[in-house]
Every structure is written in C-alpha cells, then in structure tokens.
Structure 1
C-alpha cells in the first residue's frame, strides 16, 4: 500500500467530502464488498453514501493520522456531529489497489467541562 496515496485519499475524504460536501467523490475511493463496523449502517456503500449526501457538509479538523500496514487511523474533531462537537477516530482498511474496503469508527461527544486541563485533541 502506497502511504502517499492513502494520505491523499484521506485528505480528500475530510477536506472535499466532509468539509465541502462533495459526497459523490466517495465511491471512487471504495471497493466492494465494503465492510462497515458502525452498527448504524449495513455493509455496502449505499447507506453510508446516502447519509453523507443527506448531511451535506460535515465540518471537521483532522488532528492526526497514523498508518500501520493496510490500516489508517484518523483522529478527528467533528465541529458539529449530530448537533454537537464530537471527538472521533476513524479506522480504514485499504486493499492492495489503495481502495477502502473496511471502516470502523468511535465517536464521543466533547463535554462542556472536564476534570482535567487536557483537551480531547
């Protein structure tokens, strides 16, 4: 897997698809069968693509990316996810052709106060 290609795909997902609302770009980065681990979505591209299109823009800031073999981990600050600021980690598995074939995510609302001075980002 080409690291530069993966970084380019991830940059496009977060900048063009999420921040700018260009959902129609997403299918070009995915290969089937697309395995989805978020329990709100079935496997396949149709439902997740429908959600991204319906949402329009999903404003976010990528805080860090780690790549390990065929997996890419993205720590994201979603500025407004379901009406609130949310910390997220997306995990993508890429095939040998550089296409996304599997996705996991973990999402946590950012609380108004914390018991420490650290941020979630």
Structure 2
C-alpha cells in the first residue's frame, strides 16, 4: 500500500466521480463488501452510485488530505450537497491493494454567518 496509490484513488473519487458524475468508476475503486457508516446509504455501492447518478454530479473542492496507514481523512467543501454548501470530512479505509473497503463521514452545513472570522475551510 502506497500513499501515491491512495492519493490517486482519492483524486479519482473527488475529481471524476463527484465533480464529473462518473459513478461507474466506483466499482473499480472498491473491494469486497463495502462498509458504509453514513446512515443515509446502505452497505455496498448501489446506494451511493444511485445517488451520484441521480444528482449527476456532486461539485466539491478538496481542501486537505491526511493519510495514516490504511486510513485517509479528506476535508471537503461540498458546493451543493442537497442544495446547500456543506463542510465535510470523509474517512476511508483501504485494503492492501489500495481499494476502498469502508467509509465514514461527518457533514455540516456552512452557516450564513459566524461568531468568528475563521472559515470552515
């Protein structure tokens, strides 16, 4: 497992799958029974692939990535997640072939105003 291979998978997910809506690329990036921790989607690929195909694309900007062994943490600005700008952190677990096997996420709508001058990104 190499950081470069993990980085390539992440680039494909955010650039091509989400931003360009190429959901059909996902099966080549995933191994085994894909474990999903987002309560909106079932385990496996059908739920997320169906969502991306329906949405057409999910415009986003990757702000930062941290890779630690078989885990990757991605801080993302989703420009239109359900009609709203959203801050997200996706966590992925990879197998030894650098394919996705598990996913967690935390999503938070970006508020119109803030009590500080910091952004969420």
TM-score by length of 1: 0.98
Please name the residue that 1:43 is paired with: 43
1:9-24 to 2 correspondence within 5 Å?
Answer: 9-24=9-24
Please name the residue that 1:109 is paired with: 109
1:72 aligned counterpart, secondary structure: strand
Give, in whole Å, the separation in 2 of the partners of 1:48 and 1:57.
12
1:15 aligned counterpart, secondary structure: helix
Give, in whole Å, the separation in 1 of the partners of 2:47 and 2:32.
14
Give, in whole Å, the separation in 2 of the partners of 1:21 and 1:41.
18
* Unaligned segments of structure 2, at least 5 residues: none
CA RMSD of aligned residues (A): 0.6
* Unaligned segments of structure 1, at least 5 residues: none
Q: Tell me which moved more, 44-53 or 64-73.
A: 44-53
1:27 aligned counterpart, secondary structure: helix
Aligned length: 121
TM-score by length of 2: 0.98
